[in-house]
Chain A
Amino acid sequence: MPKGMVVVKKEECKGCGLCIAACPQHVLAFSGELNKSGYTVVHMERPEDCTGCTFCALTCPDVAIEVYRERATVKEA
């Protein structure tokens, strides 16, 4: 069970690829799909390896990525 998960908002993504390069686990890749703006969007190609580290979201210039972690692994605030 992966510790983390990201949601890439398809219509916000501009296909810049910075998140793909930032991910230490190589989770992300271009999906081959185009969004309405004509950008090639990114998705989790290998979701099983996601740790929810947020490196992808930190670098996304369009704040198009939301990051989730397993409830059990997240410390109570």
Chain B
Amino acid sequence: MPVDTKHWVKVFERPASLTMARSTYCPGCHHGILTRIIGKTIDELEIAERMLVIAPVGCSVFAYLWYRCDALQVAHGRASAVATGAKRADPNLIVLSYQGDGDFASIGIAESIHAANRGENISVIFVNNQVYGMTGGEMAPTTLIGQKTTTTPQGRNAKGFGYPLRISEMIAQLEAPVYVTRQALYDTKHILQAEKAIKKAFTNQVEGKGYSLVEVLSNCPTNWHMTPTASNRHVAEVSEKVFPLGDLVDRG
């Protein structure tokens, strides 16, 4: 039904740098919100023609479908190393390494830490939802103590399985990174804060300032066995207690 534009002005629409492809994410998944925010950032900074999106392995393996930008799909865990190679080869590209729990903090942890340590001029978005979504709900390094997953059916026990890994705090210890922050998307206030943080992470790269990392505390309604709205409450009331929000480093 057409909108009467004499009376109404559109104040919110799909960012231009997003494709029309329907996302493959589950209903209520924060990956979708994050995708919109990235699209909005690309629009605002007018960098679509310079963008290089690096899609990992995980639920966001299809990230290359969502943006009207050049993109690479890469091996599990290696996105930060691929980003390094790409940015060194063509520093004019604005390189986004978009990674989940396994990719960033498990199989790829060496690449994640070393790209940060070398201060690669890239923007990294780390989606932390404390579980491996795509492969059916296994434990992630970030899984909480007591959290039930398919590989911790009795709940994660620190003995034998370790503690939730706060990789951003580890990276914040390094000399090189210029911006390390943890954000969330569970309500409007946090979404707006996350938008600012992500814009800063990209602006830092455009201005050649160095390595930026935005960890986004996210949900997984499917593998947490919750409704999306309940999962938002879980992030606010449970996940955030273990992964505090805020800026860990801001040398911008």
Contacts and interface: CB of A to CB of B under 8 A. Distances in A.
- Asked whether any CB of A lies within 8 Å of a CB of B in the complex, the reply is yes
B7 A71 contact: yes
Interface string A24-50: 000000000000000100000000000
B188 A59 contact: yes
Interface of B: 3, 6-15, 18, 22-23, 25-33, 35-36, 185, 187-188, 191-192, 221, 227-229, 232
Contacts, number: 89
Contacts of A17: 28, 227-229
21 contacts: A16-B28, A17-B229, A18-B228, A18-B229, A20-B229, A21-B229, A58-B33, A58-B191, A58-B192, A59-B33, A59-B185, A61-B31, A62-B23, A63-B14, A66-B14, A67-B10, A68-B3, A68-B8, A68-B10, A70-B9, A74-B11
**What's the dominant secondary structure at chain A's contact region?**
mixed
Contacts of B3: 5, 7, 68
A67 B188 CA distance: 15
Size bracket of the A interface: 20 to 34
